[in-house]
């Protein structure tokens, strides 16, 4: 079962070799992709990161070719919100954004950055507050400052009735305490890139959190314990993300030489998870898609797969 995903024809089709070469006939390639590869929503991609500067349009186009229907651009500070907002203009149907302050940035937060985050958080294109939370692993900001800025963002999410996009590393107890303090007012929240223990997972699930999984789970050195925890995650509270350009899945059959992750690899992560959960890939795609819509776009009438999903390509400016 371990590498059953390799045999999936759509994944062979989306192998790295195919993505590295520019297809001679992109529309034909898209049509081939549409057959059985599923549709996917990347709930966390750092698409404004400078590593995408040389070829951002091509990265987006490859994601679409791979069946990635929507991408949520993660913001981590005031300028990041503005950059994500600007990028979204290129394809507002597919690109959505978060607005928030990453714990690494908490120590140098300026008033105008907080203003930016709050102002944009109210807009309908912002589907979550974050990424926000606590990171005591790197401790790039003082823990006290991290907690203060995180609490402000929990308050903001409550005030606006928007979900939280949470980041936590080595700070489980403190993060949990702040979320519990919010009581019944706590909005929906996803713990993005969950890499914690069974006990931590249980605490988060008890609090009603959703769980975001990345290619970390494909890492045989660091992610093995996560594979064992997969059955514990309720299927309707699971979301997936690449966190690109970080966390290139180590199980990619033909990884890019530059080691950069990108949203086109999301179906690979999904297939890895589906194989370990003994789930049919198409059913799994449908479940994750439903979950993503319930979490980020609960007020939109739930859409069946859009007819234009593969008929319309991304046109870079």
The strand pairing partners of 278, in sequence order, are none
Give the nearest residue (CB) to Zn ion.
Answer: 167
Q: Give the nearer residue to Zn ion in terms of CB position, either 105 or 113.
A: 105
> Which two structure tokens, joined as six digits, stand for 5?
């995903």
Q: Which is nearer to Zn ion, 44 or 78 (CB)?
A: 44
Closest approach, Cβ 131 to Zn ion, in A, equals 5
Tally of residues, the chain: 317
Token pair for residue 14? Answer: 């989306």
- Alpha carbon of 94 to those of 49, 97, 141: distances in Å? 18, 10, 33
Q: Which of 9, 37, 3, 58 lies closest to 253 in space, CA to CA?
A: 3
- Asked if residues 195 and 217 have their Cβ atoms less than 8 Å apart, the reply is no
- Quick one: 167 or 172, whose CB is closer to Zn ion? 167
Nearer to Zn ion (CB atom), residue 167 or residue 310: 167
| Nearer Cβ to Zn ion (61/190) | 190
Least distance CB 129 / Zn ion (angstroms): 14
Considering only CA atoms, which of 76, 96, 89, 74 is closest in space to residue 140?
A: 76
Interface with Zn ion (CB under 5 A), residue total 1
- Residues within window 94-153 making contact with Zn ion, judged by CB under 5 A: none
Q: Can you tell me whether residue 46 is helix, strand or coil?
A: coil
Contact range with Zn ion by CB under 5 A, out of 16-24, 119-127, 159-167, 227-235: 159-167
Nearest approach, Cβ of residue 103 and Zn ion (Å): 9
| Smallest separation, CB 239 to Zn ion (Å) | 13
Alpha-carbon gap, residue 72 to 145, rounded angstroms: 27
Query: Between residues 8 and 49, which has the closer beta carbon with respect to Zn ion?
Result: 49
What's the closest the beta carbon of residue 263 comes to Zn ion, in angstroms? 16
User: Least CB distance from residue 36 to Zn ion, whole Å?
Assistant: 32
Strands (E) in 61-157, as ranges, are 68-73, 95-99, 126-135
Q: Token pair 């954004």 is at which residue? A: 97
Q: Tell which positions 30-69 bind Zn ion, by CB under 5 A.
A: none
Span 162-191, contacts to Zn ion by CB under 5 A: 167
Residues near Zn ion, by CB under 5 A: 167
């Amino acid at each position: 079962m371990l590498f059953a995903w390799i045999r999936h024809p759509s994944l062979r089709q989306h192998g790295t070799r195919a993505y590295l070469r520019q297809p001679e006939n992109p529309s034909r390639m898209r049509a081939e992709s549409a057959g059985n590869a599923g549709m996917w929503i990347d709930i966390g991609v750092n698409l404004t990161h400078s590593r995408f500067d040389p070829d951002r349009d091509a990265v987006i186009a490859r994601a679409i070719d791979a069946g990635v229907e929507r991408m949520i651009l993660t913001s981590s500070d005031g300028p990041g919100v503005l950059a994500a907002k600007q990028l979204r203009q290129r394809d507002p149907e597919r690109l959505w954004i978060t607005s928030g302050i990453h714990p690494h940035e908490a120590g140098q937060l300026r008033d105008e950055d907080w203003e930016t985050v709050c102002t944009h958080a109210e807009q309908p294109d912002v589907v979550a507050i974050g990424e926000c939370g606590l990171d005591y692993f790197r401790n790039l900001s003082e823990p006290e400052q991290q907690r203060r800025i995180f609490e402000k963002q929990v308050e903001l999410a409550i005030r606006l009735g928007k979900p939280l996009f949470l980041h936590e590393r080595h700070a489980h107890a403190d993060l949990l305490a702040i979320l519990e303090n919010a009581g019944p007012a706590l909005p929906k929240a996803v713990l993005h890139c969950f890499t914690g223990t069974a006990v931590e997972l249980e605490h988060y699930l008890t609090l009603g959190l959703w769980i975001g999984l990345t290619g970390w789970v494909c890492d045989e050195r660091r992610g093995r314990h996560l594979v064992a925890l997969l059955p514990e995650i309720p299927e309707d509270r699971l979301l997936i993300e690449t966190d690109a350009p970080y966390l290139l899945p180590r199980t990619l059959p033909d990884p890019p030489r530059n080691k950069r992750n990108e949203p086109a690899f999301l179906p690979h992560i999904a297939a890895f998870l589906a194989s370990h959960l003994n789930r049919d890939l198409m059913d799994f795609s449908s479940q994750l898609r439903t979950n993503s819509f319930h979490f980020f776009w609960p007020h939109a009438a739930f859409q069946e797969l859009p007819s234009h999903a593969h008929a319309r390509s991304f046109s870079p400016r």
